[in-house]
Amino acid sequence: MRLYQKCMMLLLVSVIILPLILANKAKASLEISAKSAILIDANSGRVLFAKDEHEKRRIASITKIMTAILAIESGKLNETVKVSDLAARAEGSRIYLEKGQEIKLEDLVYGLMLRSGNDSAVAIAEHVGGSLDGFIYMMNQKAEQIGMKNTLFQNPHGLDDHENHFSTAYDMAVLTKYALQNATYKKVAGTKNYRAKTMEGYWKNKNKLLTGLYEYSTGGKTGYTKLAKRTLVSTAEKDKSSLIAVTIDAPDDWNDHISMFNKAFSTYKTYSIMKKGYIKGVDKKIYQNKIFINRDISYLMTEEEKKNVVIKTSLLKPNKSWEKNQEKIPEIVGQMRVQLDGKTIAEVPVYYPNDRNTPPKVSFFDSFQSVFMQLTGGAKWSI
């Protein structure tokens, strides 16, 4: 009886305790010094790692990501900015602007992102927003528009001159994902060195990941104040995968970001799910070799996860009048939905060709080159 009890106890330990030990070991395999951190896929927004990502904290100079994207989106990069006394007197990191100096807005944006110029931030804000207060209103309006739900901007630079200037690691990842859709922003944030065109200045980017520490780094923004401590947003790309990392109050931020990037690149891969082009396997004659999607579908996932991808295509029921007059067929005749473990990860319209809307110029064969077509049983369809 005692032997039986001992065996049962060992079984209980193996069933209940061991998984907890393994889970803690797995959790400990990625040690992050930051009080708040997040790592996301830059394309889909999928969260790959998070630590207190919704906690409101001071963010220091990563604030300037918002300042930069608003300046770029203003369409005024070629305009000349006259430096005010307020801008020239800005404290902290500077590009040493002088009152009355006339500088191209483009130069100010590079000075803002590469050297973290607080004077540059004020000059940009006054020019783009009409006033400092006007620009701060723009910052918060944009934050609301793009889904930054726990953010309040009180200045364009991130200095500790307001009690309620804060954001979260998650919100800053949302902002960066949005900003990366702009080619000019991406270029500025990824520039290692820049020579100003309308003032004296040759600036090296403060982002050490970009300038030498990490080979896959593509850009980002550094930050530090006495109250916020070290903050950092960085981006990296490898093998068609693009990642965004954010840390707030991180004494070892360079290594935090390298650890997160390396862990993700070794665990996940961006797989092609469907190529743009014609949709195969449709039983309705009027749709056969006609309907198509106009963009590729890809997703960052693990080798195991790709086996659980399901592709569902829903189409409008053909109207009898369409057979006589195909001009009556709507431009969008359905939707392709891609699901992973029951969760929708992508949705794209299904088009019927007309004079305004033609299929992408890819071969029928190329349009179906996908890892999922090579799996046993192929992709799963519901049409």
For the annotated binding site for substrate, the residues are: 221
Residue 177 a catalytic site member: no
Question: Cα–chain-centroid distance for residue 243?
Answer: 7
Q: Exposed (0-12), middle (13-18) or buried (19+): which is 19, by Cβ within 10 Å? A: exposed
DSSP string spanning 12-43? HIIIIIHHHHHHHHHHHTS----SEEEEEETT
Other C-beta atoms closer than 10 Å to the C-beta of 371 total 15
The contacts of residue 145 (CB under 8 Å, 6+ apart) are none
- Which residue among 36, 84, 116, 241 is the active-site one? 116
d(CA 29, CA 292) in angstroms, rounded, equals: 44
Closest-CA residue to 99 (of 86, 85, 111, 118): 85
Amino acid at site 343: K
Q: Measure Cα distances from 293 to 193, 360, 361, 367 in Å.
A: 41, 8, 12, 10
- Which residue among 51, 64, 104, 206 is the active-site one? 64
Which tokens sit at 163?
């009690």
Residues making up the binding site = 221
Residue 61 a catalytic site member: yes
d(CA 181, CA 179) in angstroms, rounded, equals: 5
- Which residue among 36, 51, 61, 217 is the active-site one? 61
Question: Taking the alpha carbons of 195, 201, 207, 208 in that order, is the dihedral positive or negative?
Answer: positive
Question: Are 228 and 248 contacting, i.e. CB atoms less than 8 angstroms apart?
Answer: yes
Residue 234 a catalytic site member: no
The contacts of residue 189 (CB under 8 Å, 6+ apart) are 65, 68, 113, 179, 218, 219, 220, 221, 235
Amino acid at site 66: M
Active site residues: 61, 64, 116
